Structure 1
Amino acid sequence: MDQSSVLVERFEENRAQLRAVAFRMLGSLSEADDAVQESWLRLNRSDRTEVENLGGWLKTVVARVCLDMLRARKSRREDSLDSRTSEVKAGGADPEEEALLADSVGTALLVVLETLAPAERVAFVLHDMFDVPFEEIGMVIGRSPMAARQLASRARRRVKGAEEPPEADLTLQRNIVAAFMAASRAGDFEGLLAVLDPDVVVRADRLAVSFGAAPEVRGAAEVAGTFLGRAQAARPALVDGVAGLAWVVDGRPRVVFELTFVNGRIATIDLLADNEVHQAMDLVVE
């Protein structure tokens, strides 16, 4: 068997997974096939002697192709979700395979994925559905591994939030944040306990730890003690559409306090000081 035939055979061995990856990113069977075909064309144009892991290489290429397609789609603002999901029902050359592919994702999840930004969707699909490391995802989307992790985390929260009843409207979230800030600045321990979930968790990234934050603090009493008399320079902020806080220095966020809420209380506080993570956020300091 010549090298060309071997390459075709090896590509076909990976086709099913590549199509699954592309479908989850694009939500369209025809576009998924286009992305897989483009990966084949790029493979033929590449120096294959440098490709050690063909499956991983192809997955990365397909992901980059899908990212470009998602960005182009967003700029055009065309192709409604209904038109794409209707392809699943219509079937194709292999209706059984297409039905299995669609069932493995589900229309409800496709609806949620449509709300994500292109880089969020790629990061979420690659990591949560195909266990691709953040180091590799970062190379696909042109971000650091930390920023890729943040994008996947944000996407995951949005997916989970769409599956569950929404927690508190924005006005209530802002009121909780305002009460947290007031109690922190005043050294009001009981006031802090009132707005913290009993099992609240505070996590800090490595840069925030270098500023003096503890890597992790658990429990309302411990967290209240951590913030007692603090937050003097913190300002209210919207972090990906959710009420939060930001420590701003010279007009730039130094640390972002990303919050989640459960039953009208703060359940998690993520202290994020990595500037690349900030750039990946939809951040509005108020």
Structure 2
Amino acid sequence: MSTFEDHRSLLTSVAYRILGSVADAEDVVQEAWLRWSGVDQATVDDPKAYLIRVTSRLAIDRLRWAKSRREAYVGPWLPEPISTEPDTAEHAELAESVELALLVVLETLSPLERAVFVLREAFDLPFAEIAEIIGRAEPATRQLARRAREHVQEKRPRFDVDRDERRRMTQRFMNASANGDLDGLIELLSGEVTMVSDGGGKARAALRIITGADNVSRWLLSINTPANIARFMASIGMAEAAGLSFEMAEVNDGPAIVASADGKVITVISLVVADGKIETIYLLANPEKIAHLRAAG
């Protein structure tokens, strides 16, 4: 295996955490490979450090460009989900610290703050090395890291420590939604629950964040009707909702609900659970963001 291939998974992990986009991360890694192919590799003392440096710089540049595009995005923008099932080898190194809720918070950082946070907190790179990557003095880099860490600690949602409890809550949420059980759904939700749904103008989704248990539950159940499901399927180019199914899966290192029809993933729902209640619902329906996921079964 070539030196680059030895580190491809790591580089994808770096790029994905900085960008929050599978497609953009893959593009950045491909560009890093082109850069690597064009250098005299015998002169590179530490290929791993060199490749991380190149990939990080490319990802920062890509993020700056992406942020300008996201200003015109239709509705809320959410990071692309990734499968972290145990048998998904290509994403094995992505499994830790890629919780969707964390990636959402990272979206509020500047590109440099995000890169510094990722490289320090997720990969434990020395500040001197990070400073070289971002082109800043080490004291300034430490300041960026401190500011980013404080922001993330302030904004990051709280989680139940017990992952099994989160899985049980996700299962109950899926059952209540699928059965149209309004009372059962409201019982699971915090009174101040928020729902962020990302359709990107390509699939049915709320164009604004919805708050409150009653509003969220009624919106969720309103789309779970045969007529609305049919309209949703038509919006993403599928004639009908034959074979519609809901399954539990590991997505971004946590339990999630994956809805699919005829083997095609159409929606991914991830929950933030704290104090025995669902505090935040992330609903991803933009077909461009979930096309890479495989339906269960």
TM-score, structure 1 normalization: 0.49
Greater share of residues in helix: 1
Relative CO higher for 1 or 2, CA cutoff 8 Å, sep ≥ 6? 2
